[in-house]
Amino acid sequence: MRALSTLVLALVASTPLSVSAEGDVDAGKQKSAVCAACHGQNGVAQIPTYPNLAGQNEQYLVMAMKAYKGGQRQGGQAAIMQGQAAALTDQDIANLAAYYASLPAKGK
């Protein structure tokens, strides 16, 4: 019984406090059509004031989209992004982040 208790305690202690959903690249690609209007078909924006998403760090993208969704990010095009992110689930966000992170940074 003591061995089982020790094992359970070790598993709990090694589990991250914030478990996040893993993104599905294919699902993210399907969901990305609306993003392409500003961020480009291949994640490289054609308008210089819009950020490129291709090759961006996955966790950064998750944090950024959640911050837009929660209204914490302000300025620039935040109002547009807040509206876009409001309709996304956490899984949608994870999928989009996985998709854009999987693309080559130069979009080729």
Q: Is residue 72 part of a domain?
A: yes
**Within a domain: 31:** yes
Chain center to CA of 65: 6
61 closest CA partner among 33, 28, 108: 28
Is residue 17 assigned to a domain? Answer: no
**Contact present, 92 and 31 (Cβ < 8 Å):** yes
Asked, for residue 92, whether it belongs to a domain, the answer is yes
Half-sphere exposure of 20 (CA within 13 A, CB side): 17
Whole domain around residue 37: which residue ranges?
Answer: 23-102
In a domain, 108, yes or no: no
In a domain, residue 4? The reply is no
- Kindly report the pTM of this predicted structure: 0.78
Q: What is the pLDDT of residue 76?
A: 87
3 assigned to some structural domain: no
Whether 12 is covered by a domain: the verdict is: no
- Taking each helix axis as running N to C, give the angle between helix 58-69 and helix 78-86, from 0 to 180 degrees, rounded to the nearest 10: 90
Give me the pLDDT at residue 108, please.
62
Domain harbouring 67, CATH code: 1.10.760.10
Q: What is the mean pLDDT of each run of 10 residues along the chain (108 residues)?
A: 45 40 92 95 93 97 97 92 96 98 86
Q: What is the pLDDT of residue 43?
A: 96
pLDDT of residue 21: 61
Distance CA 41, CA 39 (A): 7
Count of structural domains, the chain = 1
